Amino acid sequence: MIGSLARTFRPCNKRWPGIVAFAAAFLLVTVLFANFATAKGEDWANFFRPAALNLRAPYSVDGVFNPPWTFLILAPLAWLPSHVGAAVLASFTLAVLVGYVKDWYKVAALMLSAPTLAVLYFEQIDVIPLLALLSPTWMALPLLMIKPQGVFLAALRRLNRTSIAVLFTVVAISFLVWGLWPLGIRGTPDGPHNRSLFPWSLGLTFVILLWLKVHPNSEHADGLLCLASVAACPYWAIHSMLPMTALFIKGMKSRAACFGICAATWGYALLTQQSG
């Protein structure tokens, strides 16, 4: 994917109008989201930005559970005014989703899905694990660990000596810089946003893993492993389904299947809605 993006933006007179149009659209969407974020303020304003601005002690912010290299990645956005950083994050998320699925009906199905709208509303960063799944294998594991709820079993397909060495190096450096940071995490990831059916959903995880054992080269392997991940996770919110939803919609051949997946995300969101 990265190679195709590089070819897309290779200097060429015929491509400049498209690049300018994309930049203008990106700016417009950013301005619109900035106005929206000013009046709202969710996870970006309350958790990610404060932690990124306090890089020396990100876990002084209650409710922050991501590994510390998350906040190094987010720091440039955190230096912007809160509503502007949230708007750029939302615009970047949309640009990645549109660039990934490409076809207009897939874009429409993905944009209307519950996970995408949840990511935008709650100002979440689930686009990062999706990018990890699309990145070279050697750099995927540290990015997958940023938001592992919906993707951790997909890491199984990316285990090799190089990727393990990179992950080990990143974790080792994080311990040198932040100490035993897992011990500094405060709060518990629980509440009305939890949509997990664990442990009742573990059966689905086992079925998927057995099926992939028989069909290891399935074109939907990553999407199925993401589904197995959420089924095996005790806590996850609707926005954690973004990588899985994008992967499944991207792999569908028909419009009906794409919009069926979109409808399924809303069905699950409504059926698992909690009060409080």
pLDDT of the residue at 9: 44
Q: How confident is the model at residue 30 (pLDDT cuts 50, 70, 90)?
A: low
Is the pLDDT at 190 greater than 70? The verdict is no
Q: Percentage of residues in the chain with pLDDT exceeding 70?
A: 83
Residue 170's H or E segment, with its range, is: helix 161-178
Most confident of 106-120, 183-197, 258-272: 258-272
How far, in Å, CA of 174 to CA of 4, rounded?
A: 32
Judged on CB neighbours under 10 Å (0-12, 13-18, 19+), 227 is buried
Q: How confident is the model at residue 216 (pLDDT cuts 50, 70, 90)?
A: confident
Judged on CB neighbours under 10 Å (0-12, 13-18, 19+), 130 is buried
The one-character DSSP state at 274 is -
pLDDT of the residue at 8: 46
Is the pLDDT at 219 greater than 50? The verdict is yes
pLDDT of the residue at 17: 58
**Residue 12: strand, helix, or coil:** coil
Provide mean pLDDT across the span 235-258.
95
Q: How confident is the model at residue 276 (pLDDT cuts 50, 70, 90)?
A: very low
Higher-scoring residue by pLDDT: 275, 199? 199
Q: Write phi, then psi, for 168 (nearest 5 degrees).
A: -60, -40
Is the pLDDT at 41 greater than 80? The verdict is no
Q: Which amino acid is at 4?
A: S
- The domain ranges of the chain are 2-271
pLDDT of the residue at 186: 83
The C-alpha torsion from 186 through 149 and 118 to 110, rounded to 10°, is 160
Is the pLDDT at 12 greater than 70? The verdict is no
pLDDT of the residue at 87: 86
Please write the tens of the pLDDT for every residue from 71-94.
999 999 999 998 889 888 988 998
Please write the tens of the pLDDT for every residue from 155-177.
888 899 999 999 999 999 999 99
Give Cα 69 to chain centroid, integer Å: 15
Q: How confident is the model at residue 5 (pLDDT cuts 50, 70, 90)?
A: very low
How far, in Å, CA of 48 to CA of 93, rounded?
A: 15
